[in-house]
Each structure stands twice: as C-alpha cells, then as structure tokens.
C-alpha cells in the first residue's frame, strides 16, 4: 500500500508541470514561409502572414522572451509619435530580447505599409497587418516565448518539439 501511495505521489507531482508547459503560449515565426503561428493551451490557435528581414541574418533566429508590449508605439529612430499615420511600427509592439537586447530593438509589430506583408523587407523586426498584431497583442503575455526559425518543418512539429503541443 505504501508503495502504491509513493508511486501516485511521484506521478502527480510531475503531472502539473507537464500540463503547464503545454499551456504556456508560444509564438513561432518561420522565415522560410513568412508566417507566424500562435500556440496556446496545447493547440495552434492562429497562423498569420508576416514580413521579415531583407536578408536572412537581419531577423535573428532562436528562442527569445517577450519583454515589452506597447500600444501605438513611438518610433524613436525617426521621431514619429505613436498613432501617427506615417509610423512604420503600426498600432502594436511586442518586443523580445534577441541578441541580448531588452525588447525595444527587435519586435513583432504592425505596419503602415500593408503591401509589405509576406515579403523579405524589414531591418530585423517581424511585421504584421495591424488587425492581426492587435489580436495577437491581446493574447500574448510578457514572458511568452518567441521561436524564430527558417525551417521546412510544420508549425505542429516545431511546437511539439518545443513542448507547446500535447
């Protein structure tokens, strides 16, 4: 009887950790197809078209963490206020810590140039249609993981390998 209780305690002490890993949100960006998948609660909830770096090295690859979120972000480089029609960052900013940055250099953001989506055109960020980044912004908490790859693997295979799919 004691052995059975000990085995049950061991089993249930590991079970919540496995369940919570699958429920943590994950953003996957595949530069090979210029698409972003949002994975949450063990399933791929959404797939969106994106624009990425004009060269393969501009948009960094790896596993990063969302550090900063902003509505109507200010564009420091050209001193353009948030919400301005000429602001290239669009309506939302989801910044992540690529290359040792603090979430204010690399990000997933909207655009004032919707025709650019699907192209290799950015200086490193991941660009989305404003309506799509607004929907994503509401679902993604600070601390969520962002996986950026250039791969022939499916989003399901990538998510499963990173523990986001059950």
Alpha-carbon span 46 to 37, nearest angstrom? 6
φ, ψ at 125 (rounded to 5°):
-75, 175
Active-site positions?
Answer: 109, 125
Confidence band of 1 (pLDDT split at 50, 70, 90):
low
φ, ψ at 157 (rounded to 5°):
-65, -40
37: which strand partners?
28, 47
Give the pLDDT of residue 115: 98
Please tell me the pTM assigned to this model.
Answer: 0.86
Query: Is residue 28 predicted with pLDDT exceeding 80?
Result: yes
Give residue for tokens 């959404």: 46
CA atoms within 13 A on the CB side of 24: 19
DSSP element (H, E) containing 17: helix 2-23
Give the pLDDT of residue 11: 43
Give the pLDDT of residue 102: 96
Instruction: Give the DSSP letter string of 113-148.
Output: -GGGTTSEEESSSEE--HHHHHHHHHHPPTT-EEEE
pLDDT digits (tens, 9 = 90+) for 86-129: 999 999 999 999 999 999 999 999 999 999 999 999 999 999 99
């Amino acid at each position: 009887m004691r052995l059975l209780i000990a085995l049950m305690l061991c089993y249930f002490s590991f079970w919540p950790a496995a369940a919570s890993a699958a429920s943590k949100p994950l953003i996957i960006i595949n530069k090979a197809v210029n698409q972003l998948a949002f994975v949450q609660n063990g399933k791929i909830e959404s797939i969106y078209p994106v624009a990425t770096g004009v060269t393969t090295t501009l948009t960094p690859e790896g596993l990063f963490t969302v550090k900063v979120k902003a509505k109507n972000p200010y564009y420091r480089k050209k001193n353009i206020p948030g919400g301005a029609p000429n602001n290239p960052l669009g309506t939302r900013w989801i910044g992540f810590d690529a290359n040792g940055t603090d979430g204010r250099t690399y990000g997933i953001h909207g655009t004032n140039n919707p025709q650019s989506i699907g192209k290799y055109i950015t200086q490193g960020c991941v660009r989305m249609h404003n309506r799509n980044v607004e929907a994503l912004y509401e679902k993604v908490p600070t601390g969520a993981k962002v996986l950026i790859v250039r791969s022939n693997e499916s989003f399901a295979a990538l998510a499963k390998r990173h523990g986001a799919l059950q």
